[in-house]
Structure 1
Amino acid sequence: MTNVYLLHLPTEIFYRIFDYLDTPTILRSIRCACSQLHAIVNTYDHFELEFKSIDIDRIKFISDVIGIENITSLIFSIGNSKQSNNIDLALSIFTTRQSNRLRSLTLLEIFHSDLNQVLPCINALSLVSLTIHLCGTYAISTNTPRSIITLQSSLQKFHLKGLHSITNTLSWPTHCILQSLTIEYCSFKEYQFILDHCPLLRTLVIERCSLYDINVRTMTTSTFRSYTQLTSLIMCNIYLSFDELSVLLSLTRSLINLKIISWSGNFYSLCDGSKWEEFIQNKLPRLNNFEFCFRQTLDYNNNHPSHHSIINLYRTPFWLEKKHWYVTCDCVIRSSFASEIILYTMPIKIDNIRLIIRCQALSMDNLCYFTKYQLNHQDEISEREILTTLAIGGNHFGHEGTTYLVDILENNKTITTLSIGGNDIGLKGIQNITLTTLHLRLNHIDDDGAEYLANTLRTNKTLTTLDLSKNRITGAGALCLADALRENTTVTELDLGDNQLGMMGAKHLANMLQMNSTLMILNLWDNRIKDKGADYLASALETNMVIFN
């Protein structure tokens, strides 16, 4: 086998490698390695320069070393007014050279007041790609001098951030060949304007998609023309309902890629998988890639569709077999006022929280998983752990919140220990729970709740530890629990401390102990059982070795 050495590669291969390297690496490392690489670097003509400070002398020096004709891309990170004052001088270096080949320009953090100063230099360049990020948000008003950005006929990619109105600040060429456009704000009228003036536009990204002027009551899809050029649409931070989105998307039926990010009050309108299925089949037949993330803060005082009723709509053959789009529904548990429900088709970053507990329901199966995510300093997931113990006490979820949690737990196969003390769940929130350890301390369960729980205990085959302390249970509730424990063969530890069992409650439990040989630990502290109640329990000890606390 013949040995092939790096320096034997064709020069074109080196050029291709250089395309993926930054300029300092090419000049300081590769160019200095040997005379052959030095010569190859000297003939490379696709340098991308990034300047984090505007030093005119340094820019001139680097440009002369590389050769102005070999620079095709410039990135200026400006960031303060002193730097911004020199940006026009820096650009003039490239506009005054006859052999200029600059095709891509990026201006980051440029001040609004300096934009007009820079525009003549920008307009003198025959750019293919232009990116402008203005400092802050620049809203056009009658008192603000307008910065008119001329979109050159050669421009194919344009990224503009920091301007509210694009129709008032952009001068569109007669023959626009723009293929990719990213903007921060857009109204529905501007959305139509863009599609009307960009017949070759393939990709449109709207980072803050309010489209406040869309009105489904007064418009129908037949009112507008169809735009077949757009194949990829990304809309972030939308505040639209499903009906409003359907009108918008019906204008671009040739979409192949669609991405939607929403965190608004329209969650339950957007999360309906059956509506999306019908709409995509009828209106977006070419759609191949659909990514979305819909988020909603949970208000436990209102009724919500259950976790599984949402995800079940994405378990149809259309989603799983035809499109292979797999959806996850998360309940991100933080506190009673900050928990979220999130429906998504992609991994997402959830704010700046260091530790996240998620309940995940996947469209691929009927199970539900509790997971804990530990985030590193860059807000990337560094550890994912399937939880077996869930402690979310003291959050005051109430009946509705805990009922939502119970619905999630119904199909969970990993949580074995659940502690939800201090959540005021009452009697309705404790049904249909299958665990090995359950802590329900301080939840105002009272006798009605004890009866519901007793009915569960009669057939439960997994629970071994039950904490019902501080729940205002009286002798009547103790009777229900005692009757259930006569039949139960799994509970080994029961905590009924600080209730109101009284003498009769002690009697009911003592009678149960004469027939139950499974219970090993029974806590009855502070229950006012008095001497007579103690006598009942003492008699039970003659035939049962249970330990009393």
Structure 2
Amino acid sequence: MSRTLIEDLSNEFFYEIFEYLDSYEIYQAFFDLNNRFQQLLNSSYLLFKIRHCYSQSKEIIMNKYKQIFLHNKNQIFSVHLWILPDNNQFISSFTIDSSFIRLESLVFRPIEPDLLISLLPKLIYLPRLFSLTIDTWSALKDLGNIYQLIFNLRKLKYIKYKATESDDFDITVSLSIATNEQQVSTIEYLIIDHPCAYNELYNIISYTPQLRRLKFLNLSESNISIEVIKPMTLSNLTHLSINNYQMTFDEFEIFIKKLYSSKLKVLSFTTIVQDIAYLDANRWEEFILQNLPKLEEFILQNLPKLEEFYFKYSTYFEDHYETPMYSGKRDQFISPFWIERRWILQAEIELDNLIYSIRPYKKRWYEYNTQHKMINSCDQLSKFMRLILVNKSSEGWPNSLAINKYISHVLTVTQIHHMETQEHFFIGKLREILDLLSELDSLQIYSLSFSQSTCLSREEIENLLFLSTKNQITKLCLEIIILIEEVYFLIEIFPRINHLQVNFIHSMDVELFVRLILIQIKIKSNHPLRLLCFCVAAADDEMVHKLEKMINIENLLVDFTVKHVMNEIYLQWK
């Protein structure tokens, strides 16, 4: 019987493996192993990715990385360095020159400003440096000099610059606006992750007329009004992302008008400013149509348009604070303007925050019939509004009054048809929420719980009666079920469900699980349940065949189908 040795494997096979390894790991395993592997390491087909972690010992770093930089600098593709203060001398010792002919990406995280300023002029010699990521933890008051050095890198396409603001002073960017005589930057992707005032941002982007994607995460206050800043056109800008903590809707409108691009396809905006105008759907519609005229033309003539719109607005409730309430007409985010573009509003309650967001349509768990296509019905999309409950506190949910305030705020803006949470729910709490959300059609929760006692209290029985008679839920998803009795219970309190999904069946035989549910449905004549979905790690064609055989032999269903999609089993019947 012949044996296959590792030396018999092809070079292409090893190159494929090396794609997943850091250069240190490759050197550690194969350097000086034999002549064949030494040739592989020196081959121009192999590109090294250097990722130095601060947890590695200094001695190993000095030995291995010095060898790579000495013998294989023309094969280095990327360098990602986590730089501690005691490594500054090590980094400074590297000679960066044009011999790094394949180096395309550099990441310095974190790096001292003085060391960064000394390194940036050397990077100009790199012939293929397309990507640069900088993270400075030690605050520098003025970033203007660093930006000027970055703009001198003539091959750069992508730059992300993160700077931590000090408690002692505000970060500024002392950079004059670019003139016609200055050579502009080739940067196409710019991420600004540090405080930056209106005028400073406009001065920065005056150097980057080829920008395609712009993202800035912290627009700061400025003594200069946005209204006096000159307009600027970014002809190639297709993606714009803004995280802002101070900009009102009025200022946002002025800002976008001054930062004009006829090719803008994706707009993302996040704010915590307590300006209730952000929830005015009609104002958003008017603003987008007036400032992105191609949008209407696309509908009729298939011309360029704003394809994706992301928006996030956060508000909160506190004692002695009057939360702004929306007073306009409800359900304006389901007008034809929003539905035709498939931009969907949802609300999320996370601890003390209420977050409204708008994002493009994305298929949800209950859309069984649309696995390979999007919803086309305007009526379906108009009832797509979702409420998400997120509780990251070990102390449990805020009091009922707080939950009621949040939901009441949401209901001034939109009706809610779907609710999701990954939390345990006591039956009493669920009853309170469903009492407010009378139009709820789908519910996704982790699990349902009762009081600690073995017998139901009178209050819990009353809650059950309310749930079984009042709720309109037709689709139910539970993250976990431990006992089959939980399913029986759910069928009782949600008598209208036609779609039941369980994401984890704890220590339950699959055939037994399906058998008991179908027997229960058979006992309850005319029960509307017609689709059962559950996740099983071992889902395969054999499991599908066993279920089909069991159902047929025991005559549990007549007209049915069973199939699996990845690890999900779908059982549907008429």
Q: TM-score range by the shorter chain?
A: 0.5 to 0.7
Structure 1 position 209 matched with structure 2 position 219: yes
Q: Does 1:83 pair with 2:101?
A: no
The structural deviation recorded for 1:237 is 3.4
Deviation (angstroms), 1:34: 10
CA contact (8 A) 1:307 1:404 kept: no
In 1, Cα distance between the equivalents of 2:106 and 2:178? Answer: 18
Give the distance between the partners of 2:415 and 2:212, measured in 1 at CA: 45
Residue 260 of structure 2 corresponds to 252
Could you say which residue in structure 1 is the equivalent of 2:233? 226
Any idea what SS the aligned residue of 1:197 has?
A: coil
Aligned counterpart for 1:329 among listed residues 341, 347, 358: 347
How does the TM-score come out when normalised to structure 2?
Answer: 0.54
The 8 Å contact of residues 159 and 181 in structure 1, kept in 2 or not, is answered as: yes
Whether contact under 8 Å (1:149, 1:169) holds in the other structure is no
CA distance in 2, matches of 1:8, 1:170: 61
Of 120, 134, 137, the match for 1:135: 137
Q: Name the counterpart of 2:359.
A: 345
Aligned residues: 386
Counterpart CA distance in 1 for 2:70 and 2:234 is: 47
Q: In the TM superposition, what is the alpha-carbon distance from 1:228 to its structure 2 partner?
A: 1.4
CA offsets 1:101-134 (integer angstroms, 9 cap, x no match): 4332221111224333434433444432222211
Instruction: Give runs of aligned pairs for residues 251-290 of structure 1, distance below 5 A.
Output: 251-253=259-261, 254-266=263-275, 268-284=276-292, 285=294, 286-290=305-309
Q: Distance in 2 between matches of 1:308 and 1:21?
A: 57
Change beyond 3 A, Cα 1:261–1:403: closer
Q: Distance in 2 between matches of 1:98 and 1:433?
A: 66
* CA drift at 1:149: 2.4
- Measured against aligned partners, the alpha-carbon deviations of 1:350-406 in whole angstroms (never above 9, x if no partner) come to xxxxxxxxxxxx9945477665557699xxxxxxxxxxxx9754x665997785488
What is the correspondence of 1:345-364 to structure 2 with a 5 Å cutoff?
345=359, 364=381
The structure that has the greater radius of gyration is: 1
Q: State the secondary structure of the residue aligned to 2:247.
A: coil
When the two chains are superposed, the root-mean-square deviation of aligned CA atoms in Å is 5.0
CA change 1:403–1:287 in 2 (3 A) is closer
Paired AA for residue 240 in structure 1: M
| CA shift in 2, pair 1:392/1:34, >3 Å | same
Distance across 2 between alignment mates of 1:233 and 1:329: 23
Cα deviation digits, residues 320-344 of structure 1 (max 9, x gap): 22x2222212233x4xxx3424334
Q: Is the contact made by 2:274 and 2:324 (CA closer than 8 Å) also made in structure 1?
A: no
Matched position secondary structure for 1:130: strand
Distance of aligned partners of 1:117 and 1:398 in 2 relative to their CA distance in 1, 3 Å threshold: closer
Pick aligned residue for 1:302 from 322, 333, 336: 322
- Note the 1:134-533 alignment, pairs <5 A: 134-140=136-142, 149-150=149-150, 151-162=152-163, 164-168=171-175, 174-183=183-192, 184-210=194-220, 212=222, 215=225, 224-250=231-257, 251-253=259-261, 254-266=263-275, 268-284=276-292, 285=294, 286-299=305-318, 302=322, 304-305=324-325, 312-321=331-340, 323-332=341-350, 334=351, 338-345=352-359, 364-366=381-383, 373=390, 393=399, 397=402, 404=409, 418=428, 462=466
Mind listing any 5+ residue stretches in structure 2 that lack a counterpart? 1-5, 165-170, 295-304, 362-378, 420-424, 440-464, 470-574
Q: Using a 3 Å threshold, how does the CA distance of structure 1 residues 71 and 85 change in structure 2: closer, same or farther?
A: same
Query: 3-state SS of the aligned residue for 1:327?
Result: strand
Structure 1 CA distance, aligned partners of 2:345 and 2:34?
53
Structure 1 counterpart SS, 2:78: strand
Give the aligned residue type for 2:200: E
Distance in 1 (alpha carbons) for counterparts of 2:207 and 2:437 = 59
Note closer, same or farther for the CA distance 1:211–1:45 as it changes in structure 2 (3 Å cut): farther
User: Contact between 2:23 and 2:48, CA under 8 Å: does it hold in 1?
Assistant: yes
- Cα deviation for residue 56 of structure 1 reads 3.7
Provide the C-alpha distance between the structure 2 equivalents of 1:433 and 1:193, rounded to a whole number of angstroms: 49
In the TM superposition, residue 60 of structure 1 has moved relative to its aligned partner by: 1.2
Query: 1:429-464 CA deviation, whole Å, 9 max, x = no partner?
Result: xx97879xxxxxxxxxxxxxxxxxxxxxxxxx9489
Between the aligned partners of 1:175 and 1:413, the Cα distance in structure 2 is 50
Query: Normalised by the size of structure 1, how large is the TM-score?
Result: 0.56
Residue 325 of structure 1 aligns with an amino acid whose one-letter code is W
- AA partner of residue 224 (structure 1): P
Give, in whole Å, the separation in 2 of the partners of 1:417 and 1:298: 25
Match of 2:563 in 1: none
Aligned equivalents of 2:391, 2:248: Cα separation in 1: 33
Say whether residues 1:61 and 2:58 are aligned partners: no
Q: How does 1:528-543 map to 2 (within 5 A)?
A: none
State the SS of the aligned residue for 1:50: strand
Equivalence for 1:543: none
Identity %: 19
How far did residue 240 of structure 1 move? Answer: 1.0
**What one-letter code is carried by the residue in structure 2 that aligns with 1:62?**
I
3-state SS of 1:185 partner = coil
User: What does the per-residue CA deviation read over 1:37-92, in whole Å, with 9 as the maximum and x for residues that have no partner?
Assistant: 77555423421111225644432123345x1111122121113x211233211x32
